[in-house]
């Protein structure tokens, strides 16, 4: 399938957020990525519900929402109501993961599960039939602008093999240090969805950077 690009608003200009969202609307991007951080699961705090709701009023692309929070089950319906179309929870934050992803589906959203760099992909073997996407964190979550962890390629290749051998309809997403220098290699390794923050919004021409990520040869 054609790969997808999901620019991360964590790297956008918060003083001109509407301008950046409209740029993404008019670009070749497929989704808009929102990192939700609570200051507990990760050492940073980002967007709350009012911001997501306002983003949703402007966005013309599906909201790809990644929860880096403790006890995400408390808020699943509120994220749906705020506009999330794809909702990804952290494996490490879910006590009853299968129940959580089934509830995400029951609420009408696509369900994803994210793995921190230290978490082996084999732990998702029995969860793959219940989800739509796996997010491989290629940096330690919490802050943008970090360097890509090269060992992530082995995880991606292993996960792609698990998905293909099980004939699961599951996308592989990567987030962290993704740019035009490694995007092609990531796609070749089995990635379906590229999340890019600093490499997009920190570039001289964000829409052109999105185009380059989307139109990889």
When the pLDDT of each residue in the chain is averaged and rounded to a whole number, the result is: 96
Of 211, 154, 143, 208, the residue nearest 177 (C-alpha):
143
pLDDT, position 217: 62
Told to judge if 71 belongs to the known catalytic residues of this protein, a careful annotator would answer no
Residue 144 scores a pLDDT above 80: no
pLDDT at residue 89, as a whole number? 98
- The catalytic position among 20, 64, 132, 175 is 175
Which of 98, 80, 92, 87 lies closest to 40, judged by CA?
92
Whether residue 142 is predicted with pLDDT greater than 80 in this model: the reply is no
Return d(Cα 82, Cα 55) in angstroms, integer.
9
The answer to whether 146 touches 140, Cβ cutoff 8 Å, is: yes
pLDDT of residue 29: 98
Which band of pLDDT confidence, cut at 50, 70 and 90, is reported for residue 1? low
Measured distance CA(143)–CA(127) in Å, rounded: 27
- What is the percentage of the chain residues whose pLDDT exceeds 70? 98
Mean of pLDDT values over 50-58: 97
**What is the per-residue pLDDT across 171-210, written as a single tens digit (0 to 9) for each?**
999 999 999 999 999 999 999 999 999 999 999 999 999 9
Considering the candidates 20, 35, 38, 64, report the single residue annotated as catalytic. 35
**DSSP character at residue 45:** B
Average pLDDT on 38-58 reads 95
- As given in the structure block, the two tokens for residue 2 are 């054609």
Q: What's the average model confidence in pLDDT over 42-58? A: 95
Predicted confidence band of residue 154 (pLDDT cuts 50, 70, 90):
very high
> Whose structure tokens read 């006590």?
95
What mean pLDDT do residues 29-52 have? 96
Cα distance between residue 163 and residue 213, in whole Å: 24
Q: Is 30 labeled as catalytic in the residue annotation?
A: no
H helices within the chain, ranges in order?
17-25, 49-58, 76-82, 97-106, 152-166, 183-189, 198-201, 206-214
Checking if the pLDDT of 146 tops 90, the result is no
């Amino acid at each position: 399938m054609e790969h997808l690009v999901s620019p991360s608003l964590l790297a956008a200009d918060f003083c001109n957020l509407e301008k950046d969202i409209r740029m993404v609307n008019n670009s070749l991007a497929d989704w808009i990525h929102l990192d939700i951080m609570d200051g507990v699961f990760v050492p940073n705090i980002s967007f709350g519900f009012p911001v997501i709701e306002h983003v949703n009023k402007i966005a013309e692309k599906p909201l790809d929402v990644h929860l880096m929070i403790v006890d995400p089950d408390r808020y699943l319906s509120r994220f749906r109501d705020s506009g999330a179309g794809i909702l990804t929870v952290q494996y490490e934050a879910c006590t009853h993961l299968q129940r959580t992803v089934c509830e995400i589906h029951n609420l009408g959203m696509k369900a994803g599960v994210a793995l921190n760099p230290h978490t082996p992909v084999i732990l998702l073997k029995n969860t793959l039939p219940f989800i739509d996407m796996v997010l491989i964190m290629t940096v330690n979550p919490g802050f943008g602008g970090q360097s890509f962890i090269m060992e992530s390629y082995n995880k991606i290749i292993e996960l792609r093999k698990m998905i293909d051998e099980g004939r699961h309809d599951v996308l592989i997403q990567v987030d962290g240090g993704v740019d035009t220098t490694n995007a092609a290699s990531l796609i070749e390794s089995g990635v379906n969805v590229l999340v890019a923050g600093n490499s997009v919004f920190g570039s001289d021409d964000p829409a052109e950077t999105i185009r380059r990520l989307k139109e990889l040869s």
